[in-house]
Structure 1
Amino acid sequence: MTLRFRIAVPALLAVGTAFAAVDNAALSDAADGRDWPAWGRSFSEQRYSPLDQINTGNIGKLGLSWSLELDEVWNVSSQPLAIDGVIYTAVGYSRVYAIDAKRGAVLWQYDPQVDPRKMRMAWGSRGLAFWNDKVITGVQDGRLFALDARTGEKVWEVQTTEPGDNRYITGAPRVWRGRDGRGRVIIGHGGADFGHVRGYVTTYDADTGEQLWRWYTVPGNPADGFENEAMARAAETWSGEWWTFGAGGTVWNAMTYDPEYNRVYLGTGNGSPWNAQLRNPDGGDSLYLCSVVALDADTGEYAWHYQTTPNETWDYNSSMDMVTATLELDGAPRKVLMHAPKNGFFYVLDREDGTLISAEKIGKVTWAERIDLATGRPVEIPGARYTDGPALVWPGSGGTHNWHPMAFSPDTGLAYIPARELPGVYDGEGRKAATWKMTPDDVMGLKGFFDDIPKNAGSTSLLAWNPVTQQEVWRNPTPGATAGGVIVTRGGLVFQGLADGRFVATDAKTGAEVWSHPMGVGTQAPPLTYEVDGVQYVAVLAGWGGAPSLLGSLAAQHGWVGRQFPRRLLAFALDGKARLPDSPPPVEQVEPVDDPAFVVDAAKAERGKLIYQDCVICHGTAVVAGGYAPDLRASTVPLSAEAFAAIVRDGALMSRGMPPFAEFSDAELEALQHYIRQRARHEPSVWDQLGQAWDFIKLMVRMELAKRGW
């Protein structure tokens, strides 16, 4: 059956509905798989379900049970939850839905009415949390709110950021009960790539929204004093006037609560600016950027840290998921944390004190030769830091593993990682710390990137990794350069949604693909599995949007370009017989439109190229769209100054996710029009292609010579 709902259906959950207690006991229970009550299903973040009704023996009988079209939202790259027969999901700008998990009917929905000024980050919501009878999630404009799970009515709301700052929330909160019996919810934020931001996390009372503690991830201005000893120690690893840039370190995605030690682990982000030569000119580790930081969950007091990329300069976030487990190492059980950040290494840490146990490459890595197990530090390859010129480095800022979560099976002992191979070119263009100033046009301290990204620039795979031996067990290529997060079940199956529009099941032991089903559109959202009335379901959100949209031809190759493609929730069960709703076929090639009478002014187009950087997240690099937003080369709107101004500046399409840019002047809008027309007429010449190939060869030769010390 196919269900469409455009308005909320209120209060279909009876006020007296009794929920299973989602608390420390439930979130620590690895044996009961009926619900999927948290981002990683349980405190361990293993994304492992003990359900096995669907297994390798009967996977061929899995079919679509129901589907739900979500036409009101534009981005569904989110992790849903399932509690007591109800699915909860936060999609788009944190619009929350409660959905009957057996039939797919919308029970209620809540729209937090995000501030239009914060609609410029195209990431959307990645998930939510559930605590007792409340649904808790963040909003792009920095709010955190709790809803009554029965009715969708707001219980409390707090502003976690400061008005007018660059911070925003896209990640899922985490919840737990402290030693004092109070429920707690922790949230971080993003924003270090867009201006002055100093990262922090804040913990609130889960029942009232009262702030309990806040912990900054990087030190502030020494003249103002430091909040704690950890910040004072961290300041010794910085130089220059880092605080004038904010310094970054945002916790925008991963956090893990560990009930055994009553600690919360933070995965911290990159520096701001990216270019370490500008924010930390005399060197030092730049703590606590790109680190796993352990804090006392009750007080926020620092316990230990491990830094994956000291003084990082490549956007190598450690904001990827952190999985806890007990592994048999050297003949004895050891409580560990497993972490695969952007930088290309898989780390196994001791959870008690943060000691590095092992670390190995899971993909192509050219910035570091290895991790020295004696010191815990990377052995860097000369030239990778682009101090004397540009450098071509693997991985690029997209990482070998990004936010799309991995899974760990205690049955196979393997971690399953959505891996990526995509390089980056870094060029500081001779900027100097003594003279450089952070501006809206130069936030990262790097040469701007304005070219299209070809469809063969990167690749992805599903990697099965043995964390004990630190070796690859099997690896399956997956389409394109973005793939969905994964789950693994006791039924011996790994489930993953793919960019080509298929939902796939893989044998967890062998890596053999044993089942797939079309979704009608690609996805990067992670799935979930749950049980209702004795029936196991596997569900996934499908819809192409978010970060892939900015990757130009690399993302556009799948054909999901434009608003016409569906955003939907699909649920599968054994012997499911529902019909997949019709959806348009993928776009084979975008055909630009043009007005021959329009004469492109090269100077205006060059100015428009810089202004367009405010548009690139949604409409794609070099005006080559890769997702939900339309390809402006093929739109007639930029041909009309009046229509262009009505949409871009005046917000005529806010209801469809297009934010207003009220600050743009007539001259700036005109410059954008000239740039879009220039790109619509652009055809790469043979000389362009040869020049790009020659630049690539020169960078490769330079990296190899530097590696050999020549």
Structure 2
Amino acid sequence: MRPRGSRIGGLARLAVTSAILLGGLALSQQPGPASPPAPDAQLRDTSDGTDWPGYGRTYGEQHYNPLDAINAGNVARLSLAWSYDLGPGNPASIPVAVDGVLYVSSGLSVVRALDAATGKLLWEHDTRVADVAGDKLRVAWGIRGIAWWDGKLYTGTQDGRLVALDAKTGTEIWSAQTTLPGDGRFITGAPRVFDGKVIIGQGGADSADTRGYVTTYDAATGKQLWRFYIVPGNPADGFEDEAQAMAAKTWTGRWWEHGGGGTAWNAFAYDAETDTVFVGTGNGAPWNQKIRSPGGGDNLFLCSIVALDAKTGRYRWHYQVNPGETWDFNAAMDMHLADLRIAGRMRKVLIQAPKNGFLYVIDRTDGKLISAEKIAKVTWASRIDLATGRPIETPGARFPDGKSFELWPSERGAHSWMPSAFSPKTGLVYIPKLEAGAIYSDRNVDLKNWKRPDHNAPGLGETFDLALKDPLQNTSALLAWDPVTQRKAWSVPTLGGFNGGILATGGNLVFQGEIDGRLSAYAADSGRRLWQFAAQAAVVAAPITYRAGGVQYVTVLVGMGTTAGVDARALGGVRIDARTQMKRILSFRIGGTAALPPPPETPPLAAPADPDYRPDPALATRGGALFNLRCVACHGIDAQAGGTAPDLRSSDVPHSAEAFAAIVRDGALVENGMPRFGELSDAELAGLRQFVRARAAALCTSR
């Protein structure tokens, strides 16, 4: 043992002390334990793309991911990693992917969590929509997407609930009823989250006296924070805010008795820098302005992009794409936020291709129009006046004095709900463009005494005929458009009059599916097809891409659903059998080794023998009118189904009056999504049954 006072001991103690001090200093300069990422880290437009947590991935709703491990150079080696078979119901939905887990809502808002690398089911939650939706089962097909925020998932339901689930277990955390008792509102769009809030709108303007609104809830608790009405209510009741009082000046007559419409059923975007939420609003209720606002007027805020303060819901500005809209030209299509160099300076813009056939570039700070040009055949307007922002309408486009007008685009729109995408890398917008026209008229409509049909049946206040003889009718394309020059960059034709939603990536790729089951990857800069996969089912929803376990995946839901199946004439000759077409999740990676089983054989379209059938044209005509009110949305125009629901011409159920009544009136198949029509009388059932049997007989004759 050394003496305490020895020099060696002192030096040793000094060295130890110095080391401790220096070490402590070094440790104090080291960062502490890494803080968990903010809940919105992957929702920011600048995020690295590891996750896909929202409908359009980020706040800016670009449907773009910067990931480039799958790219134009190696996409030829992209192959199936896994697949998962879904149950019955609408599969046209966009999933989200967070922390290696894929979340999907399909059918009647059945939510599933799967391991994103293997497809293994982790949990399933059924919101039991069929038990409570009642008449609202008649007007839609399910939800198009979900949202994620801070360990929670959010889904809407057809009966109007907004439901929050624990992302780890699928357990319900809270549920909020977003609609009002006895109303016709229903949810088909994806919720969006921003800054700890979740926003949702509804549909319903085509089938009920609906006044559109959007509501924002606390994402953690479900407490309602604010609500913004898209059209004003009855002035005698007072207005909710100054924006409603301003909007009321643009309406005439007793519009509130018809609801007014404006439902925000699909499109939202969020600018975190200015804390602004943008809402894309819907068409009028009814469509025909001569009924809902007989003295004219712009009818705010129909068919508009409305900017709201995200904290309070207060109105900031609006831009209306169709003042006084009367054709179902809603502005509920995707809105992309981008920063573009225009005329030598950077502009913060919002880009939208709504239904009406123009692509708009708008300054998102003040709502001023920068440019607008036609992307498809347009007959209702010659151009958009850049000074006023208003369209220069074609004389006769509003079918005055009982006349008709050939309208392009039709109510399907030059761009429907299938998402477009914007790539900051190429600077191009990618649009699933549609071409179809229709003959519009209100010749046989009693404009002064018009009343909406009951029980959530569509009531438009006008008629339209889609059976045009035109080379463009029921065609479509993947269109790449330069929003700065407002010119086409390239275009690739797609099959029929509908096509799928778009995904753009940092790997110079654009993915899109078609109704015949082809899923393709194109070079984003040139449109050259680089890869294709036979999905064995219609591809209507947009794909997403993300990383799981360090590997990039591309995932898409396949199977026919929503509006694409209403008119079988628009399917390019493809016949989709609702009973046999698979509804699946397909997930791809470079070097995947999975394979799909052989596709189920599609039975020939044939009417079973019906020896007791006797023609009764008058009864069939009455039944056909009822079919158009009650059944066409699922079973197709003239009972020619497009894959959303079974083709009734090939069913033997109508042969039996008892079986037909048990399903149609008594609700024997409600659990399968077939609504109950309890209000139908025996005479009405007989007419419906006769119409379907007559259509089956015509099928036999045509063959």
Give the TM-score normalised by the residue count of structure 1. 0.90
Paired residues of 1:22 and 1:131 also in contact (CA < 8 A): no
- Where 1:27 maps in the other structure, the secondary structure is coil
Alpha-carbon offset, residue 596 of structure 1: 4.0
Alpha-carbon offset, residue 668 of structure 1: 1.3
Equivalent in 113, 138, 141 of residue 128 of structure 2: 113
Equivalent in 534, 540, 552 of residue 568 of structure 2: 552
Paired residues of 2:440 and 2:465 also in contact (CA < 8 A): no
Q: Does 2:275 align with 1:257? A: no
Cα deviations across residues 213-266 of structure 1 (Å, max 9, x unaligned)? 101000111111111111111111111111110010000000111111101100
Alpha-carbon offset, residue 24 of structure 1: 3.3
Equivalent in 97, 122, 146 of residue 128 of structure 1: 146
- Where 2:41 maps in the other structure, the secondary structure is helix
| 1:7 match | none
Aligned mates of 1:42, 1:458 — CA distance in 2 = 32
Q: Does 2:610 align with 1:595? A: yes
| 1:184 match | 197
| 1:5 match | none
Alpha-carbon offset, residue 456 of structure 1: 8.1
Cα deviations across residues 530-566 of structure 1 (Å, max 9, x unaligned)? 1112211101001112212211332383221221111
Paired residues of 1:93 and 1:140 also in contact (CA < 8 A): yes
Aligned mates of 1:324, 1:425 — CA distance in 2 = 35
Paired residues of 2:439 and 2:464 also in contact (CA < 8 A): no
Aligned mates of 1:453, 1:486 — CA distance in 2 = 29
Aligned mates of 1:637, 1:454 — CA distance in 2 = 37
Equivalent in 132, 149, 162 of residue 144 of structure 1: 162
| 1:418 match | 432
Paired residues of 1:552 and 1:622 also in contact (CA < 8 A): no
| 1:692 match | none
Alpha-carbon offset, residue 430 of structure 1: 5.0
| 1:444 match | 460
Alpha-carbon offset, residue 471 of structure 1: 0.2
Equivalent in 230, 235, 243 of residue 222 of structure 1: 235
Decide whether aligned partners of structure 1 residues 258 and 310 sit closer, same or farther in structure 2, where only a CA change above 3 A counts: same
Paired residues of 1:217 and 1:250 also in contact (CA < 8 A): yes
Paired residues of 2:89 and 2:141 also in contact (CA < 8 A): no
After superposing the two structures, state which structure 1 stretch, 232-241 or 649-658, moved more: 649-658
Equivalent in 572, 597, 600 of residue 584 of structure 1: 600
Amino acid at match of 2:625: L
Cα deviations across residues 306-328 of structure 1 (Å, max 9, x unaligned)? 00001011100100011001000
After superposing the two structures, state which structure 1 stretch, 122-131 or 259-268, moved more: 122-131
Alpha-carbon offset, residue 611 of structure 1: 1.6
Pairwise mapping of residues 224-303 of structure 1 onto structure 2 (< 5 A)? 224-303=237-316
Percent of residue pairs identical: 52
Equivalent in 565, 584, 588 of residue 572 of structure 1: 588
Aligned mates of 1:192, 1:356 — CA distance in 2 = 27
Paired residues of 1:20 and 1:83 also in contact (CA < 8 A): no
Aligned mates of 1:216, 1:680 — CA distance in 2 = 46
Paired residues of 2:423 and 2:505 also in contact (CA < 8 A): yes
Aligned mates of 1:19, 1:176 — CA distance in 2 = 21
| 2:627 match | 612
Q: Does 2:448 align with 1:434? A: yes
Aligned mates of 1:86, 1:572 — CA distance in 2 = 15
| 2:105 match | 90
Paired residues of 1:455 and 1:554 also in contact (CA < 8 A): no
- Where 1:54 maps in the other structure, the secondary structure is coil
Q: Does 2:419 align with 1:405? A: yes
- Where 1:333 maps in the other structure, the secondary structure is strand
Paired residues of 2:341 and 2:484 also in contact (CA < 8 A): yes
Aligned mates of 2:140, 2:335 — CA distance in 1 = 25
Amino acid at match of 1:246: G
Unaligned runs of 5+ in 2: 1-33
Q: Does 2:542 align with 1:526? A: yes
| 1:313 match | 326
Paired residues of 1:20 and 1:84 also in contact (CA < 8 A): no
Decide whether aligned partners of structure 1 residues 676 and 563 sit closer, same or farther in structure 2, where only a CA change above 3 A counts: same
Paired residues of 2:83 and 2:584 also in contact (CA < 8 A): yes
Amino acid at match of 1:398: R
Amino acid at match of 1:434: K
Aligned mates of 1:41, 1:337 — CA distance in 2 = 16
| 2:11 match | none
Q: Does 2:373 align with 1:373? A: no
| 2:179 match | 161
Aligned mates of 2:471, 2:515 — CA distance in 1 = 13
- Where 2:347 maps in the other structure, the secondary structure is strand
Decide whether aligned partners of structure 1 residues 461 and 397 sit closer, same or farther in structure 2, where only a CA change above 3 A counts: same
Cα deviations across residues 562-598 of structure 1 (Å, max 9, x unaligned)? 21111100001011111112222456x5222342431
Amino acid at match of 2:48: D
Amino acid at match of 2:297: G
Decide whether aligned partners of structure 1 residues 349 and 442 sit closer, same or farther in structure 2, where only a CA change above 3 A counts: closer
Aligned mates of 1:360, 1:331 — CA distance in 2 = 20
Paired residues of 1:197 and 1:245 also in contact (CA < 8 A): yes
Alpha-carbon offset, residue 453 of structure 1: 11
Aligned mates of 2:469, 2:674 — CA distance in 1 = 23
Aligned mates of 2:324, 2:697 — CA distance in 1 = 42
Q: Does 2:340 align with 1:322? A: no
Alpha-carbon offset, residue 25 of structure 1: 3.4
Give the TM-score normalised by the residue count of structure 2. 0.91
Decide whether aligned partners of structure 1 residues 683 and 568 sit closer, same or farther in structure 2, where only a CA change above 3 A counts: closer
Aligned mates of 1:552, 1:656 — CA distance in 2 = 22
Amino acid at match of 2:389: G
- Where 1:605 maps in the other structure, the secondary structure is helix
Q: Does 2:555 align with 1:539? A: yes
Paired residues of 1:455 and 1:555 also in contact (CA < 8 A): no
| 2:529 match | 513
Alpha-carbon offset, residue 26 of structure 1: 2.8
Paired residues of 1:262 and 1:297 also in contact (CA < 8 A): yes
Aligned mates of 1:453, 1:544 — CA distance in 2 = 26
| 1:10 match | none
Aligned mates of 2:240, 2:161 — CA distance in 1 = 24
Aligned mates of 1:386, 1:452 — CA distance in 2 = 17
Paired residues of 1:521 and 1:544 also in contact (CA < 8 A): yes
Decide whether aligned partners of structure 1 residues 620 and 597 sit closer, same or farther in structure 2, where only a CA change above 3 A counts: same
Amino acid at match of 1:436: W
Aligned mates of 2:286, 2:509 — CA distance in 1 = 41
| 2:79 match | 63
Decide whether aligned partners of structure 1 residues 56 and 169 sit closer, same or farther in structure 2, where only a CA change above 3 A counts: same
Q: Does 2:471 align with 1:458? A: no
Decide whether aligned partners of structure 1 residues 432 and 616 sit closer, same or farther in structure 2, where only a CA change above 3 A counts: closer
Cα deviations across residues 36-60 of structure 1 (Å, max 9, x unaligned)? 1111111111111111111111111
Alpha-carbon offset, residue 495 of structure 1: 0.7
Paired residues of 1:358 and 1:373 also in contact (CA < 8 A): yes
Equivalent in 334, 340, 359 of residue 353 of structure 2: 340
Alpha-carbon offset, residue 29 of structure 1: 4.6
Amino acid at match of 1:163: P
After superposing the two structures, state which structure 1 stretch, 356-365 or 530-539, moved more: 530-539
Decide whether aligned partners of structure 1 residues 42 and 354 sit closer, same or farther in structure 2, where only a CA change above 3 A counts: same
Amino acid at match of 1:641: A
Decide whether aligned partners of structure 1 residues 445 and 594 sit closer, same or farther in structure 2, where only a CA change above 3 A counts: farther
After superposing the two structures, state which structure 1 stretch, 500-509 or 547-556, moved more: 547-556
Amino acid at match of 2:483: P
Q: How many equivalent pairs are there? A: 662
- Where 1:681 maps in the other structure, the secondary structure is helix
Paired residues of 1:451 and 1:621 also in contact (CA < 8 A): no
Alpha-carbon offset, residue 685 of structure 1: 11
Alpha-carbon offset, residue 665 of structure 1: 1.9
After superposing the two structures, state which structure 1 stretch, 34-43 or 118-127, moved more: 118-127
Amino acid at match of 2:364: R
